[in-house]
Amino acid sequence: MNNKQEQQENHLQEEVPGGVPIKMWTRGVPVEDAARRQLANAARLPIVFKHIAAMPDVHLGIGATVGSVIPTLRAIIPAAVGVDIGCGMMAAKTTLRAEDLPDNLAPLRSAIERAVPHGRAPGARDPGAWGKVPGSVDTAWAQLEPEFSELCRDYPKLAKTNHRNHLGTLGSGNHFIEVCLDEDGAVWFMLHSGSRGVGNAIGTMFIELAKQDALRHNANLPDRDLAYFEEGARYFGDYVRAVGWAQKFAALNRELMMRRVIEAAKTVIRKNFQSHIEAVNCHHNYVQKERHFGEEVYVTRKGAVSAKAGQLGIIPGSMGARSYIVRGKGNPESFESCSHGAGRVMSRGDAKRQFTLADHRAATEGVECRKDKDVLDETPAAYKDIDAVMAAQQDLVEVLHTLKQVVCVKG
């Protein structure tokens, strides 16, 4: 990476017997053997086009590897998209400066927590859903409703999911809302969420249908989770419609939350300010039709972000680390993609066993965020070093802004 030639050919290539090659942007970052084996499984599918690209945050997932880009010809693997359809990031720059923020950030964090439902349903009362759906959410739902009703005619179980009452809500796990400062002291708001319960139901249902289809047709798959629909087959068109709809839901979900976060901030910050001076809203878990190497292909980015030339993206660090607003370089070899974060180095269970609350408090010093034992699985040390991850993808993106969080709300 120290000279021009290496920057142009920054990736490593692995040949897969009986499959397409794997191109890996993982110079200087650890890759588990299990993740390599999983990438090789996908590379052996007959529908994969040209090669598979692995981003520097690559790690083991279900079926397909998180941090991979899988281009397929006239077919889609629903389990590669996964259940958190349209999961992604949104960031908005404001006219606020660091010095405009109050010394005590706890009221700002509380205001955000009150404005956006978050967390997981513990029984009858669901703090992660709307008690009463706000008017702005109702208006947004009206855009989604007609296509959803059509889907429900063919797949009635989708009607029973949380949809309208989860639009504009955060969810749980690694979904979060942050207030950040960039390298010039400008205040940004940033958040991470997806298509919530309804996207999950769509993903789960079609993954199961693909597996059943594969069994019926005796498909010779290296892993049942890599079952795919081919163009023209029974569920292909329905899946394309449903996954596209869930992706729209997810993008709108983030936009609605961002608006409410800004409104909440205006109630506790005295200075008047404007938002969306620069704004990015990007999926990192999705599929869409794109043109690469002269072919129309379905590109599944599972934990990867689109990085076409000039396109803005977001690469978040973990709780205590920096995040990046990046501009794509349109590298065709990565199918114009980059990483979606730092990537885990250990499972959630291992992190909870290995780290203490004292470790976590030290790692998140100066950040107004949760410091209890239930967020130990999200502690920065459970993730790869973000500097190494960024260095490994210099030929995919350039860094425009470096963001450091000062407030973090976890689901």
Partner DNA sequence: ATGTCC
Catalytically active residues, by annotation: 340
Query: Is 366 annotated as ligand-binding?
Result: no
Query: Is 340 annotated as ligand-binding?
Result: yes
Binders of DNA among residues 204 to 223 (CB under 7 A) are 204
The one-letter amino acid code at 28 reads G
10 Å CB burial of residue 216 (0-12, 13-18, 19+) is: exposed
Min separation Cβ 45 and DNA, Å:
23
The CA distance from 276 to 91, in Å, is 8
Dihedral of CA atoms 396, 37, 229, 55 in degrees, nearest 10, equals: -10
Rg of the Cα atoms in the chain:
21
The one among 36, 175, 211, 302 contacting DNA by CB under 7 A: 175
The one among 166, 260, 329, 340 contacting DNA by CB under 7 A: 166
Binding mask 34-73 for DNA (x = CB under 7 A): ----------------------------------------
318 binds DNA (CB under 7 A): no
Q: Give, as one character, the DSSP assignment of residue 368.
A: B
Binders of DNA among residues 67 to 106 (CB under 7 A) are 83-84, 87
**Cα–Cα distance list, 205 to 79, 119, 143, 160, 390 (Å):** 10, 24, 23, 13, 36
Min separation Cβ 205 and DNA, Å:
11
Spatial contact of 280 and 91, defined as CB atoms under 8 Å apart: yes
Q: Would you put residue 66 in left (φ > 0), alpha (ψ -120 to 50) or beta?
A: beta
120 binds DNA (CB under 7 A): yes
247 binds DNA (CB under 7 A): no
162 binds DNA (CB under 7 A): yes
Helix then strand then coil, in percent of the chain rounded to 5, is 35, 25, 40
409 binds DNA (CB under 7 A): no
Min separation Cβ 277 and DNA, Å:
28
Cβ neighbours, 10 Å, residue 131:
9
Min separation Cβ 242 and DNA, Å:
16
**Total residues contacting DNA (rule CB under 7 A)?**
24
- E strand or H helix at 202, and its extent? helix 196-216
The CA distance from 63 to 224, in Å, is 8
The one-letter amino acid code at 41 reads N
Spatial contact of 32 and 60, defined as CB atoms under 8 Å apart: yes
- Candidates 8-16, 181-189, 196-204, 254-262; binding stretch for DNA (CB under 7 A): 196-204
Query: Is 262 annotated as ligand-binding?
Result: no
> Can you say how many angstroms the Cα of residue 96 is from the centroid of all Cα atoms in its chain?
27
281 binds DNA (CB under 7 A): no
174 binds DNA (CB under 7 A): yes
Of 302, 298, 382, the closest CA to residue 339 belongs to 302
Query: Is 341 annotated as ligand-binding?
Result: yes
The one among 36, 59, 196, 211 contacting DNA by CB under 7 A: 196
Min separation Cβ 6 and DNA, Å:
35
Min separation Cβ 218 and DNA, Å:
25
> Which tokens go with 254?
């983030």
The one among 38, 193, 247, 393 contacting DNA by CB under 7 A: 193
254 binds DNA (CB under 7 A): no
Query: How many CA atoms lie less than 13 Å away from 292 in the CB half-sphere?
Result: 28
Of 394, 393, 290, the closest CA to residue 55 belongs to 393
134 binds DNA (CB under 7 A): no
- Candidates 137-145, 192-200, 213-221, 233-241; binding stretch for DNA (CB under 7 A): 192-200
128 binds DNA (CB under 7 A): yes
Query: Is 410 annotated as ligand-binding?
Result: yes
- Candidates 14-22, 117-125, 147-155, 275-283; binding stretch for DNA (CB under 7 A): 117-125
The one-letter amino acid code at 145 reads E
Spatial contact of 189 and 178, defined as CB atoms under 8 Å apart: yes
Chain contacts with DNA (rule: CB under 7 A): 83-84, 87, 120-123, 128, 161-162, 166, 171-175, 193-194, 196-197, 200-201, 204, 411
User: Which residues does the annotation place in the binding site for Mn(2+)?
Assistant: 84, 175, 192, 284
User: Which residues does the annotation place in the binding site?
Assistant: 84, 174-178, 192, 284-285, 316-319, 323, 340-343, 410
